[in-house]
Amino acid sequence: MTAVETDIQTLQLGKAIGAALHDALEADDKVFLMGEDIGQLGGVFRVTDGLQATFGPQRVIDSPLAESAIIGTAIGMAYRGYRPVVEIQFDGFIYPGFDQIVAQVAKLHYRTKGRVRMPLVIRVPYGGDIGSVEHHSESPESYFAHTAGLRVVTAATPQEAYSTLRAAIASDDPVLFFEPKSRYWSKGEVDRTIVRDLDTATVLVPGRDVTLATYGPVVQTALQAAEAAADEGIEIEVIDLRSISPLDVDTVVASVERTGRLVVAHEAPKEASVSSELVASVVERAFASLQAAPERVTAYDTPYPPSAFEESYLPSVDRILDAVDRALGRRHSRSATGSMAMQGGTR
């Protein structure tokens, strides 16, 4: 990647992540990248394409095939004042490094009474809908959201990918940055002067009838559901959570106080998930505002299926609209195209 004459470009989400890495490497000599095949190959998704040629093999490092060693080396480098950014090649490959992340990365700042910082970013391509298999299509974010001491964030658009990753690399806290691999090729404008915070959700579409909170790869699906619902006279307020841990409960509660209804959608399985925590928090803080029980649209509580079945496994526009209708007290059946045959009931 070369320097650009303007700060605003139209980029794919994957290229926006590459731009963020380029600009962070250029801005701070303490930043370095490490991961399997990220150098000469440019990563399996070509996110880091050209970075080793620009910054050299000592700052864009091809690592051995050993996730625990990648994380362990990054811990030592962060101890020495560097700002490592490491890539886990696929979501399901993170488990060999799990102990390092939850027992060391998450704990060292607290364990040393603040004397040691862990300015470490762990990039994790995650999620399904790419026609791949188990360990290449998973959503393991709930494991890490449960672990105190970690920030867990994601991005749904090229701009958010660029801005959030720059903020993550600048943070003195350890950050897991989950990248929705099914959206790597989605395009959008990116202003490379914008660096976002790591904590706040964003209201993407205002609405008065139902709050729909989601993140990462399901954001685009939620926007499509909101557009389809608008054709039926239903206003869905779509919220991109952005931060998985900590959750911006304030923004969701403020929305539910207006709409009276909540639907939460994500690709991870339902049990002990981000949706579990968000629903519980909203019930604790806005119970009196709820006019219906919250609904959840998630993957099923099974291992990730063969790719031939993933369309039924992942949240879809129809499944989200079904949940919206249940929250509104409507009974119906939807076709594969999302049309509705009413069987009675009112809003």
Per residue in 248-260, pLDDT (tens digit) is 999 999 999 999 9
Res 265: pLDDT: 98
Q: Are residues 158 and 225 in the same domain?
A: no
Q: List the CATH number of the domain containing 338.
A: 3.40.50.920
Residue 51 near residue 42 (C-beta atoms within 8 A): yes
Same domain, 154 and 185: yes
Active-site amino acid positions? 136
β-pair partners for 262: 211
Q: Does residue 1 lie in a domain region?
A: no
- pLDDT value of residue 341: 34
Comparing CA positions, the residue from 118, 59, 63 lying closest to residue 89 is 63
Kindly state the average pLDDT of the residues 118-128: 97
pLDDT tens for 143-184 read 999 999 999 999 999 999 999 999 999 999 999 999 999 999
Last residue of a domain, one of 171, 191, 211: 191
Are 173 and 209 within one domain? no
On whether residue 197 sits in a domain, the answer given is no
Q: Hey, what are 226's tokens?
A: 């909101």
Are the CB atoms for 256 and 286 separated by under 8 Å? Answer: yes
Within this chain, do residues 187 and 238 fall inside the same structural domain, yes or no?
no
Q: What is the pLDDT of residue 332?
A: 62
Task: Among 166, 191, 216, give the residue marking a domain's end.
Answer: 191
Mean pLDDT throughout 297-326? 95
218 and 138 in a common domain:
no
Q: Is pLDDT larger for residue 322 or for residue 336? A: 322
C-alpha dihedral, 74 to 76 to 81 to 82, nearest 10°: -20
Q: Are residues 54 and 140 in the same domain?
A: yes
- Is residue 85 located within the same domain as residue 144? yes
What's the token pair of residue 33? 């990248």
pLDDT band at 134 (very low <50, low <70, confident <90, very high): confident
What average pLDDT score do residues 99-109 get? 96
80: part of which helix (H) or strand (E)? none
Question: pLDDT confidence of 343, banded at 50, 70, 90?
Answer: very low
Q: How many domains does the chain have?
A: 2
How far, in Å, CA of 204 to CA of 250, rounded?
16
The string of pLDDT tens digits covering residues 19-56 is: 999 999 999 999 999 999 999 999 999 999 999 999 99
Cα dihedral 61/67/70/73 (nearest 10): -160
272 within domain boundaries? yes
Predicted confidence band at 1 (pLDDT cuts at 50, 70, 90)?
very low
Is 77 inside any structural domain? yes
What residue type is assigned to position 124 of the chain? Answer: V
**Which residue range forms the structural domain that includes residue 27?**
8-191
Q: Are strands 151-154 and 243-245 parallel, antiparallel or unpaired?
A: antiparallel
Considering 191, 216, 242, which residue would you say is the last residue of a domain? 191
Question: What is the pLDDT averaged over residues 174-200?
Answer: 96
222, 147: one domain? no
What pLDDT score does 18 carry? 98
Residue 144 lies in a domain: yes
Q: For position 6, what pLDDT does the model report?
A: 58
Q: What is the pLDDT of residues 325-342, one digit of tens each?
A: 999 998 765 544 443 333
pLDDT at residue number 80: 94
Which CATH number belongs to the domain containing residue 141 in this structure?
Answer: 3.40.50.970
Count other C-beta atoms under 10 Å from residue 339's C-beta.
Answer: 12
Are residue 76 and residue 216 in the same domain, yes or no?
Answer: no
Is residue 104 domain-resident? yes
Mean residue pLDDT of the chain comes to 93
247 and 173 within one domain: no
Residues 48 and 187 in one domain: yes
Is residue 121 classed as helix, strand or coil in its secondary structure? strand
**Structural tokens at position 9:** 């470009």
Residue 322 and residue 240 share a domain: yes
Which distant-in-sequence residues (6+ apart) come within 8 Å of 85 by Cβ? 21, 24, 31, 32, 33, 34, 120, 121, 123, 169
Q: Put residue 46 in one of left, alpha, beta given phi > 0 → left and psi -120 to 50 → alpha.
A: left
Global model pTM greater than 0.85 = yes
